[in-house]
A and B are shown apart, each in its own frame.
Chain A
C-alpha cells in the first residue's frame, strides 16, 4: 500500500478555504449567539412568567437535542417555514446559532445568579435602581465568571462546525472529505483533516485553560 501525502499539499488552497469557512462560521455564530444569549438570559431572569416560561423552554429544548439533528431539521424545515431559499451556509449558521444561544443563555443566567445577594442589597441600600445595580455591580462581576465558560463554548463550537458538513457546507470537514472522494487518498486526507483540526484546536484548548486559571473566582 503506497501513501501519497503530496495530495494534501496539492489541494492546500481548497483546504485553506475550508478552514477559513470554519473560522468564519465560528466567529459569526458567536457574534449572534452572545448578544442573543444575554437577551434570553435576561428574559429568563426578569420577564413576566409566560415570557420566562417560553425562554426556559427554548433553552431546555436546544440543550437536549443533538446538534446534527438540529442541522438536518433546519435544512428541511427553514425553507418551508420561512419561505426563503437559504444557502446551506446560512442554514448551518442558523442551526449553530440556535444551539449556542441556548448554551450561552444558561451560562449568563448562572453567572448572574452566582453573584451574592448581599451585593445587590448593598447597591439597593445606596439608592440604586435595579438597572443601575445590574450595570454597575452585578454584570461587571458576572463577566469574570462567564468568560472562562464562553471560551470553552467557543472551542466546542469550533469543533461543532464540522457537523454542518452533512448539509454540504464547504467548511474544513466537508472539503477534506470531498478531496478524499475525488482522489481516493483516504488515509492521507482524513489524517490531514484530523491534523489540521488538531493544529487549530490544540492552542485554543490551551488558551481556554489559561483563561480559566487567570479568571479563577475566589470568594
Chain B
C-alpha cells in the first residue's frame, strides 16, 4: 500500500481539470427521493470514492452520470459540457466513460476475449483483428491472459469482474465508473479486483467508485464523498473523513461499519 494521501482538507489549487461536475442533482423513483440536491466535483486523475448507507443515492448518481438514468433537477457536466438528453449524443458521451457493474454483466454467449473486444468492434467500429489485439492487451493488463478463450460461466467472480474492467478499459475512456464492484464477490476474490483498480489509479485514471470497501477508499481514494438521504453530507480527503470527520452522520456511518481505522 502506498502512503496515504497527504493533501490538506481543501483540494490543491493545481488539481486537474474538472472532469465531472454534479450540481444539485435531483432524482425521484415514484415517491422515493433518491437524490436530493447532490453536488460534487471530480478532477482529472482523481479517485473519488462515494460511501454511505444503502439507499443514500450513491449508485443512482453514478447511473445518472452516463445517462442510464435521467435526472429531474440540477446539472451534470462532463468535460465542460452539460450531459445531453438526446440518445445519440449520450452514446457519444458513454464511449468516453467506462462502467463496471456490481453484477459484472459479462455477455455469457461470448468468450472473455470477445467480451472485451465487443465494445471496440461494435461501437468504435474497429476491425475484428485490431479489436482483438486491443482486447488481448487489456486482458493482460488485468492479469487474465490465460483466460482469453474462457466463457464467463467458467470464470470465478473475481475473474469475471476483472474481465468486465478490461471490457470497459478497451474503450479507452476518460473516466471509469465503478458501481460497488466488489460487493458481489467472495472475500478471497475481492483483493484481486481491488488490486487492478489500484493499478489503474496509480496510472492516473480518473475514477468514481461507489464502494463499501473502506480500506480501499482510505488508501487509494483521493477524495471521499459521504452520502446520506440523497445528498453529499461531507466530502474531503481520506485523512479528514476517516480520521477526523466533521459531521455526526459521517461518524455514525463509520461507527456502524465498525471502522476503527
Contacts and interface: CB of A to CB of B under 8 A. Distances in A.
* A and B in direct contact, judged by CB atoms within 8 A: yes
Interface of A: 116, 118-119, 121-129, 132, 136-137, 140-141, 144, 218
A125 B94 contact: yes
Contact of A125 (B66, B88, B92): B66
Contacts of B99: 122, 125
Interface string B213-252: 0000000000000000000000000000000000000000
* Interface SS, A side: helix
A122 B101 contact: yes
Contact of B118 (A116, A129, A136, A141): A136
Contacts of A140: 109
B167 A126 contact: yes
Contacts of B87: 129
Given A118-B105, A119-B105, A125 B68 contact: yes
B53 to A, nearest CB: 23
Contacts of A144: 109
B109 A141 contact: yes
B82 interface: no
A129 B87 CA distance: 8
5 A-B pairs with least C-beta separation: A122-B105, A125-B99, A127-B95, A127-B94, A126-B119
Nearest to A125: B99
A104 to B, nearest CB: 22
A128 B122 contact: yes
Contacts, number: 60
B108 interface: yes
Contacts of A128: 91, 122-123
B116 to A, nearest CB: 11
B107 interface: yes
B101 A141 contact: no
Contacts of A118: 101, 103, 105
Interface string B156-194: 000000001001100100000000000000000000000
27 contacts: A116-B105, A118-B105, A119-B105, A119-B107, A121-B101, A121-B105, A122-B101, A122-B105, A125-B68, A125-B94, A125-B97, A125-B168, A126-B94, A126-B118, A126-B167, A127-B95, A127-B119, A127-B123, A128-B91, A128-B123, A129-B91, A132-B123, A136-B118, A136-B122, A137-B107, A141-B107, A141-B109
Contacts of A127: 91-92, 94-95, 119, 123, 171
Given A127-B123, A128-B123, A122 B91 contact: no
Contacts of B153: 218
Report which residue of A124, A141, A144 has the largest number of chain B beta carbons within 10 angstroms of its beta carbon.
A124
Contact of B123 (A116, A121, A126): A126
Max chain B Cβ within 10 angstroms of own Cβ: one of A116, A127, A128, A132: A127
Contacts of A125: 66, 68, 94, 97-99, 101, 168
A140 B151 CA distance: 15
A119 B101 CA distance: 10
Nearest to B95: A127
A125 B168 CA distance: 9
